[in-house]
Amino acid sequence: MNQPSSSLSTGAIGVFDSGYGGLTILDKIREFMPEYDYIYLGDNARTPYGTRSFEVVYEFTLQAVNKLFALGCPLVILACNTASAKALRTIQQMNLPQSNDPTRRVLGVIRPTAECIGTITYTRHIGILATAGTIKSQSYPLEVHKLFPDIKVTGLACPMWVPLVENNEFRSPGADYFVKQYIDRLLETDPKIDTIVLGCTHYPLLIDKIKQFTPSHIQIIAQGEYVAHSLRDYLDRHTEMDARCTKGNSCRFLTTESPGKFEESASIFLRQENIKVESITLE
């Protein structure tokens, strides 16, 4: 294995999301790769990103990435579909090459999700359920068509789903109406869909209700498992980066909001108690 140069930073893998949904990605990554150190940063004070402009999402995401770099992370995962859609490419192409350490890397969640689609759909018709920002960006159709030009992609924004999760109403009977409404609308738009991608990291918490109102022949794709496998593959192929990611089986949680509020919500996403959280500012 290649050893990192002494001049290159070593540290935890950074995981960023605008809110709590990225914890579903972190949970799967830690389950699959428990030996690594992680720092999770949630910009909870400024969430949601889904309705914000490209410029604002880029600005906020860059601030978070720079914070994680400053904390020693050589690799940052944007565990947020909106940030992946609106900020990732610019950060990769413009900011990283001009940074004081252009060997650091920032990866997103859309590409790993798109890569798995080709072996799952038989009808070659897929649906994307996501935030308005992710749907408007057209990032999923662009990524899918780079890999599989023959697949038809139909996207639909589900503006009520994130509030249901954030307010811990995702198990309530009242959530049924909004879950069924969007699934019905998507399948009315393209009845040939046989695969639905949950293009928002909050949506896996609604998975039971989503399956309840989705015909049984349709596959539901939650991102966490695919992102985790993609990250493992990436580090296997880039041994120089793997050598820079420290392995102490630790996880640190940072938030721009109240630590107490984060701890309460994080327990829902991670199914664990006594999460210690630090409050930070981004600029």
Judge whether residue 5 has pLDDT over 70.
Answer: no
Catalytic residue among 73, 116, 158, 200: 200
* Residues with Cβ within 8 Å of residue 251, at least 6 apart in sequence: 26, 30, 37, 38, 39, 40
Residues 185, 154: Cα–Cα separation, whole Å:
11
- Whole-angstrom CA distances from 256 to 106, 161, 220 are 20, 23, 32
**Which of these, 154, 241, 165, lies nearest to 203 by C-alpha position?**
165
Tally of CB atoms within 10 A around 229: 17
The reply to whether 73 belongs to the active site is no
* pLDDT, averaged across the chain: 93
Phi, psi for residue 32 in degrees, rounded to 5: -85, -30
Catalytic residue among 80, 116, 158, 251: 80
Q: What is the pLDDT of residue 7?
A: 65
Q: What is the pLDDT of residue 1?
A: 39
The reply to whether 116 belongs to the active site is no
**pLDDT, tens digit, for every residue of 223-239?**
999 999 999 999 999 99
**pLDDT, tens digit, for every residue of 44-100?**
999 888 889 999 999 999 999 999 999 999 999 999 999 999 999 999 999 999 999
